[in-house]
């Protein structure tokens, strides 16, 4: 757990200590499906940037392609105020 780090004008002795990251969130979404779009509602307000939420929604619905639908995403529109999002796919299905 102890390391020596070389710096420009000398060295520094450092100690590594474990710490907990409070990054995980678990929540449930309500989804309405049409041919090319999915309406997602009841998205909880989370202490993370809006673009992260859009990215997570896109990744989740893209990854579900092999299981229960999903596929290549054309657009994700997220409305933080209403806790809703619209996922638009490239192909209907």
Per-residue confidence (pLDDT) for residue 75, from 0 to 100: 92
Of the two residues 29 and 65, the one the predictor is more confident about is 29
Of the two residues 15 and 91, the one the predictor is more confident about is 15
Entry pTM: 0.58
| CA–CA separation, 79 and 90 (whole Å) | 21
- Cα angle: 5, vertex 10, 13; to 5 degrees: 35
CB count within 10 Å of CB 36 equals 13
Per-residue confidence (pLDDT) for residue 85, from 0 to 100: 92
Per-residue confidence (pLDDT) for residue 70, from 0 to 100: 67
User: Cα 43 to chain center, whole Å?
Assistant: 12
Query: Average of pLDDT values for 53-63?
Result: 85
User: Cα 15 to chain center, whole Å?
Assistant: 32
Per-residue confidence (pLDDT) for residue 42, from 0 to 100: 87
Of 78, 75, 92, the C-alpha closest to 33 is 92
Give the start-to-end residue ranges of the domains of the chain: 37-89
């Amino acid at each position: 757990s102890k390391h020596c780090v070389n710096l420009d004008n000398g060295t520094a002795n450092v100690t590594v200590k474990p710490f907990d990251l409070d990054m995980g969130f678990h929540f449930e979404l309500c989804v309405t499906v049409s041919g090319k779009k999915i309406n997602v509602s009841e998205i909880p307000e989370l202490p993370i940037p809006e673009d992260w939420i859009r990215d997570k929604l896109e990744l989740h619905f893209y990854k579900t392609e092999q299981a229960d639908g999903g596929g290549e995403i054309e657009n994700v529109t997220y409305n933080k105020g209403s806790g809703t999002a619209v996922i638009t796919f490239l192909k209907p299905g």
